[in-house]
Structure 1
Amino acid sequence: MAQVISISNHKGGVGKTTSVVNLGAALHQMGKRVLMVDMDPQANLSQSLGVFEPEKSVYSLLRGFCNIDEAMQELELDLYLIPSELDLSGAELELSMEAGREFILKDHLEQVKEKFDYILIDCPPSLGLLTINAFTASTQVFFPLQAQFLATQGLVKLQEVIAKVQQRLNKDLKVGGVFITQFDKRKILNRNVREAIQKHFGDALFNTVIRDNVALAEAPSKQTNIFRYNSKSNGALDYWELANEVAQRLP
């Protein structure tokens, strides 16, 4: 049965999509069966993997225009993607009167959970219905955080939303972990913020930090993951270590 993990932070630019691409790729290289779900109307995850204007998408799935097997695209053996498209931006309004609208994604993923070890959901930078669907479908939420002074400030509202989802929609949901992105150990601010995040989150903070690395920014332009783009880069080393921690916490 798959661990369903939402990668979420309603602050943009913290590395959500980069983390889904490369954490998914690392887990796949470890021999795990992985499904990635693009719940962001900007479709950055899909485009980073070379999928543009998909015939079937997560929008088609949520609207009932296709089933989940039709929506999934096989990227490699045991590595799949449910892509997104711009039409998803209208889904919150279109689904607003739908009965059980918070459970639509969960109901679809239940049909394929036995086929995968990990399902990674790239959440949009908002706390609307799309993110609620992701949380309702998930067993864990991971937060990527930049090592910046205001990094934890926006998490208060996010944690409030998670608490409500736990209470009303998904009692099994857990805050599975926090990891720091775009880290530069040469910067005193980065080191100080890491210490503050450690105090705030304790054992929830992963030991691995994702270092600031230009290869991570370049890989999407080649429509591939960091391991195929530059397997010797710091970005590849860091996401490999993060994947090992995830596999230990959530075997």
Structure 2
Amino acid sequence: MADPRREAERRRNAHPPKRSFQDQFSDDTSPVGAELVRDRETLKSLSGKKLPKPQETRIMTVANQKGGVGKTTTAVNVAAGLALGGLRVVVIDADPQGNASTALGVDHSAGTPSLHDVIIGDLSICDVLKECPHVENLWVVPSTIDLSSAEISLVLENGREFRLKNAIDEADLDVDYIIIDCPPSLGLLTLNSLVAAKEVLIPIQTEYYALEGLTQLINTINVVKQSTNAELEVSTILLTMYDKRTNLAQEVASDVRAHFPEETLDVEIPRNVKISEAPSYEQTVLTYDPRSAGAVAYLAAAHEIAQRH
């Protein structure tokens, strides 16, 4: 008569139990599991790490007239990453939609003291600064819908392209970074942002037509550099919405790096639902879900930006 225990063991070996969904993702031999392990290791190495202070305030404009490339998302999350690294950061929301103000948790309802009041000369930047409630050492110059009227009112004004630069110079802020979020256009607000900055950070979506419009933006930057701001340079290009599973994303990333080898960051920002969810909770992804792939990528991007210059 067969041994019941041996027979049961034989059956278990012949039909091993199915691995649970959680087990599959915790297994570091699977592609997804290996990626999670890498993210954990990256987060562990970067969390709490102090970033080097620049010798002078770095003023960066995040610009791309093509919509939907992650421009505002990049501005607020890079700013949060720098602040979490111990640096003092101000975000200037130069987009009348006020999405950066929303993501950083500050009020920007109509009538709120904002960049509009600064641009038209009624208030100084110091008068409208608000502290981000979720990240220490991070302040915001909010935007309201009123800002949309500023472009019209300034059209005939002398020195209209220098309004933001003059306001920043007069404020003399004791901070390490000023990050300006532009509207998705090449209008007067974007021109003010380019004149005020020393660097341009360009987010590029790793999808079809990614480079469409980039030539026009580069030409505009060159015109500003030659006419009103000789210090302006494209210092940083960040690949966003990257899906390494697709050949298209890999090809676009390769093309961008071929054209801009020095400017393009090593890290790519992946497609990640947590990045999209965070603004609805008036937070950056770094505070909404700091362990998510999107948060880890933006934290790494902020560290790379700080270390590069």
Q: Runs of 4 or more off by more than 6 Å in structure 1? A: none
Contact 2:101 2:143 in 1 (8 A): yes
Q: Distance in 2 between matches of 1:72 and 1:99?
A: 26
Q: Choose from 47, 58, 63 the match for 1:3.
A: 58
Q: Choose from 177, 180, 205 the match for 1:146.
A: 205
Taking the TM superposition and a 5 Å limit, the aligned residue runs for 1:145-224 are 145-224=204-283
Q: Which residue of 1 aligns with 2:117?
A: 60
- Where structure 2 has 5 or more consecutive residues not aligned to the other structure, the ranges are 1-55
Matched, 1:36 2:80: no
Q: Distance in 2 between matches of 1:94 and 1:101?
A: 10
Taking the TM superposition and a 5 Å limit, the aligned residue runs for 1:21-170 are 21-50=76-105, 51-53=107-109, 55-75=112-132, 77-170=136-229
Q: Distance in 2 between matches of 1:95 and 1:165?
A: 18
Shift of 1:78: 2.3
Q: Distance in 2 between matches of 1:176 and 1:122?
A: 16
Matched, 1:12 2:71: no
Please state whether the residue corresponding to 2:180 is helix, strand or coil: strand
Q: Distance in 1 between matches of 2:279 and 2:192?
A: 26
Please state whether the residue corresponding to 2:102 is helix, strand or coil: helix
Shift of 1:149: 2.5
Which amino acid is the alignment partner of residue 7 of structure 1?
V
**Per chain length, whose mean CA-contact separation is higher, i.e. which structure has more relative contact order (CA < 8 Å, sep 6+)?**
1
CA RMSD of aligned residues (A): 1.1
Please state whether the residue corresponding to 1:151 is helix, strand or coil: coil
Shift of 1:113: 4.4
Contact 1:2 1:113 in 2 (8 A): no
Q: Distance in 1 between matches of 2:218 and 2:64?
A: 10
Report percent identity of matched pairs.
Answer: 39
With normalisation by structure 1, the TM-score equals 0.97
Shift of 1:224: 0.8
With normalisation by structure 2, the TM-score equals 0.79
Which amino acid is the alignment partner of residue 246 of structure 1?
I
Q: Distance in 1 between matches of 2:86 and 2:267?
A: 21
Contact 1:106 1:133 in 2 (8 A): yes
Q: Distance in 2 between matches of 1:6 and 1:89?
A: 19
Shift of 1:225: 1.2
1:12-59 CA distance string (max 9 Å, x none): 111111111111111001000000000001111112223231621001
Contact 2:108 2:114 in 1 (8 A): no
Structure number, greater radius of gyration? 2
- Where structure 1 has 5 or more consecutive residues not aligned to the other structure, the ranges are none
Q: Name the one with the larger strand percent.
A: 1
Query: How many residues in Structure 1 have an aligned counterpart in Structure 2?
Result: 250
Please state whether the residue corresponding to 2:230 is helix, strand or coil: coil
